[in-house]
């Protein structure tokens, strides 16, 4: 239970860049990954914009034949895993792979394949449905594929808790390692649900921005004129190691994963609980798990979706946890640039946080133009800020009332 767990590798596939260096640079520059959807006809949709991953070639990371048998969420997840493991410097030829596992999160899984094969069924009959349909769509296939690719026989499963999925996956990995079940875990999340049905579904619940004439301005967390979130896609994967294991092999350490908290609103299938009681609870549990006081947090990476209720309720939760000091803590939303990566959001945002920690800046919340009296914290508007981060808290709050919170700290011997 006393094991210290550190981050030694990161891999990212995002709408603002593939790979940690490109991603970090885009975060610092405040780039938007939004554009008009061009992969299918959106002329009849109320929302016609999203944040796609650009110039992604799965064959750059995965065998071509294997890639064809994967849903897109699995392709981007495998690419991120490849980058994370390479970045960690792990030599799997000499590692005890029974002590290495994989846990990943996704909210939706292989929706693209479901749609394609359902069309095949209707048009051509059962015999034309792919025999790979089921293994391509199930959410556990990403950690399964990671295990198969790298021969990892340690703990392995998937987590699905909507937008909180990857934070939950990382938190589960942290706890397994503390209990001594693994020395290394490959963990995070992946999502690729910008499909005709996926976009239509989110349009129907009126969750999305309809700022179709200015995609890059659509995601505007905490701004008074926000009108919904922007669908994004991608994957974030990190390598976690026990400190003992990382030090023994001379690994680079990005930061120490200190705390994890989880709760549920028990309120509504999509709307957050108005007083944010369970979100407050999850943050307090994470602080207690980290064995630190709220005064030690000097940055919050917010869930910050750009929806009316999420942003003001999350702001309220932060103020309840940190009191008057909340006004002195920089808070920013990665989603202002990447859009909402759904089940992959938490991992992508934790990676953003540790990269900012490494490089000594806080990324901005872009498109913040008009203050909202109910959202009155320091959201680092529009321009990155040169500032050292010592200890950060990252929120993920999902449909179904799922809340998951991670705390990461700059590594100290």
Per-residue pLDDT, averaged over 137-152, amounts to 98
Distance of CA 236 to the CA centre of its chain: 6
Task: Say yes or no: 319 and 395 in one domain.
Answer: yes
Please tell me which residue in 52, 340, 363, 402 is annotated as part of the active site: 340
> Residue 394 and residue 277: Cα distance in Å, rounded?
17
pLDDT at residue 413, as a whole number: 84
Token reading at 248: 């023994």
Among candidate residues 194, 219, 248, the one where a domain is terminated:
248
**Active-site residue, 168 included:** no
Among candidate residues 228, 248, 268, the one where a domain is terminated:
248
Task: Say yes or no: 222 and 280 in one domain.
Answer: no
Measuring CA to CA, how many Å separate 79 from each of 10, 11, 72, 139, 167? 11, 8, 11, 16, 19
Q: How many structural domains are present in the chain?
A: 2
State the average pLDDT for the chain: 97
Query: Is pLDDT above 90 for 406?
Result: yes
Longest dimension (CA), the chain: 64
Question: Could you tell me if residue 51 is inside a domain?
Answer: yes
Task: Say yes or no: 304 and 401 in one domain.
Answer: yes
Task: Say yes or no: 13 and 119 in one domain.
Answer: yes
Among candidate residues 191, 217, 248, the one where a domain is terminated:
248
Task: Say yes or no: 61 and 164 in one domain.
Answer: yes
Question: Could you tell me if residue 253 is inside a domain?
Answer: no
Question: Could you tell me if residue 254 is inside a domain?
Answer: no
pLDDT at residue 2, as a whole number: 79
Task: Say yes or no: 134 and 161 in one domain.
Answer: yes
Query: Is pLDDT above 70 for 1?
Result: no
| Per-residue confidence band for 158, with pLDDT thresholds at 50, 70 and 90 | very high
Task: Kindly report, residue by residue over 297-345, the tens digit of the pLDDT.
Answer: 999 999 999 999 999 999 999 999 999 999 999 999 999 999 999 999 9
pTM to 2 decimals?
A: 0.98
* Contacts (Cβ under 8 Å, ≥6 apart) of 363: 27, 28, 30, 332, 334, 337, 352, 356, 380, 384
Task: Say yes or no: 182 and 238 in one domain.
Answer: yes
* Contacts (Cβ under 8 Å, ≥6 apart) of 89: 8, 9, 249, 251, 252
Task: Kindly report, residue by residue over 364-394, the tens digit of the pLDDT.
Answer: 999 999 999 999 999 999 999 999 999 999 9
What CATH number corresponds to the domain at position 64? 3.40.47.10
Per-residue pLDDT, averaged over 262-283, amounts to 97
Task: Say yes or no: 57 and 84 in one domain.
Answer: yes
Question: Could you tell me if residue 318 is inside a domain?
Answer: yes
Task: Say yes or no: 315 and 240 in one domain.
Answer: no
pLDDT at residue 97, as a whole number: 98
Q: Name the nearest CA neighbour of 265 among 253, 274, 257.
A: 274
Task: Say yes or no: 243 and 272 in one domain.
Answer: no
Question: Could you tell me if residue 148 is inside a domain?
Answer: yes
Task: Kindly report, residue by residue over 227-257, the tens digit of the pLDDT.
Answer: 999 999 999 999 999 999 999 999 999 999 9
Task: Say yes or no: 188 and 287 in one domain.
Answer: no
Question: Could you tell me if residue 54 is inside a domain?
Answer: yes
Per-residue pLDDT, averaged over 338-367, amounts to 98
Task: Say yes or no: 242 and 288 in one domain.
Answer: no
pLDDT at residue 194, as a whole number: 98
**Active-site residue, 268 included:** no
Question: Could you tell me if residue 255 is inside a domain?
Answer: no
Please tell me which residue in 303, 316, 363, 402 is annotated as part of the active site: 303
> Residue 3 and residue 346: Cα distance in Å, rounded?
23
Question: Could you tell me if residue 397 is inside a domain?
Answer: yes
Query: Is pLDDT above 70 for 280?
Result: yes
**Active-site residue, 340 included:** yes
Question: Which domain range does residue 370 map to?
Answer: 260-409
> Residue 41 and residue 227: Cα distance in Å, rounded?
23
Task: Kindly report, residue by residue over 65-111, the tens digit of the pLDDT.
Answer: 999 999 999 999 999 999 999 999 999 999 999 999 999 999 999 99
Query: Is pLDDT above 70 for 356?
Result: yes
Please tell me which residue in 24, 74, 82, 163 is annotated as part of the active site: 163
| Coil, strand or helix at 81 | helix
């Amino acid at each position: 239970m006393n094991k210290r767990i550190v981050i030694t590798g990161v891999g990212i596939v995002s709408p603002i860049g593939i790979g940690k260096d490109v991603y970090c640079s885009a975060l610092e520059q405040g780039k938007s990954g939004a554009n008009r959807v061009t992969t299918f006809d959106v002329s009849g949709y109320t929302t016609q914009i999203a944040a796609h991953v650009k110039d992604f070639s799965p064959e750059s990371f995965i065998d071509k034949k294997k890639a064809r048998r994967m849903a897109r969420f699995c392709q981007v997840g495998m690419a991120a895993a490849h980058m994370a493991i390479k970045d960690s410097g792990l030599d799997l030829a000499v590692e005890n792979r029974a002590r290495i596992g994989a846990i990943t999160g996704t909210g939706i899984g292989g929706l693209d394949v479901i749609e394609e094969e359902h069309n095949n069924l209707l048009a051509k009959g059962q015999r034309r449905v792919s025999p790979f349909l089921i293994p391509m769509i199930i959410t556990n296939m990403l950690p399964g594929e990671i295990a198969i690719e790298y021969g990892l026989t340690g703990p392995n499963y998937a987590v699905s808790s909507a937008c909180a999925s990857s934070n939950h996956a990382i938190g589960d990995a942290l706890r397994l390692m503390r209990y001594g079940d693994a020395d290394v875990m490959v963990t995070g999340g992946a999502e690729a649900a910008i499909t005709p049905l996926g976009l239509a579904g989110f349009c129907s619940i009126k969750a999305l921005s309809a700022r179709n004439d200015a995609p890059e301005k659509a995601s505007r967390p905490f701004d008074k004129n926000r009108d919904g979130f922007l669908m994004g896609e991608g994957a974030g994967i990190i390598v976690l190691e026990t400190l003992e294991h990382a030090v023994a092999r001379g690994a680079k350490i990005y930061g120490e994963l200190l705390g994890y908290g989880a709760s549920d609103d028990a309120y509504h299938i999509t709307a957050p609980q108005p007083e944010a009681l369970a979100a407050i609870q999850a943050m307090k549990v994470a602080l207690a798990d980290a064995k630190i006081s709220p005064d030690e947090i000097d940055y919050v990476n917010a869930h910050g979706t750009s929806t009316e209720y999420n942003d003001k309720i999350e702001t309220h939760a932060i103020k309840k946890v940190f009191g008057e000091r909340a006004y002195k803590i920089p808070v920013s939303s990665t989603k202002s640039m990447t859009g909402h990566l759904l089940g992959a959001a938490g991992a992508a945002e934790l990676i953003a946080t540790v990269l900012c920690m490494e490089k000594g800046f806080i990324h901005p919340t872009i498109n913040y133009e008009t203050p909202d009296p109910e959202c009155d914290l320091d959201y680092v508007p529009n321009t990155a800020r040169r500032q050292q981060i010592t200890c950060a808290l990252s929120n993920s709050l999902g449909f179904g009332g799922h809340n998951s919170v991670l705390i990461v700290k700059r590594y100290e011997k």
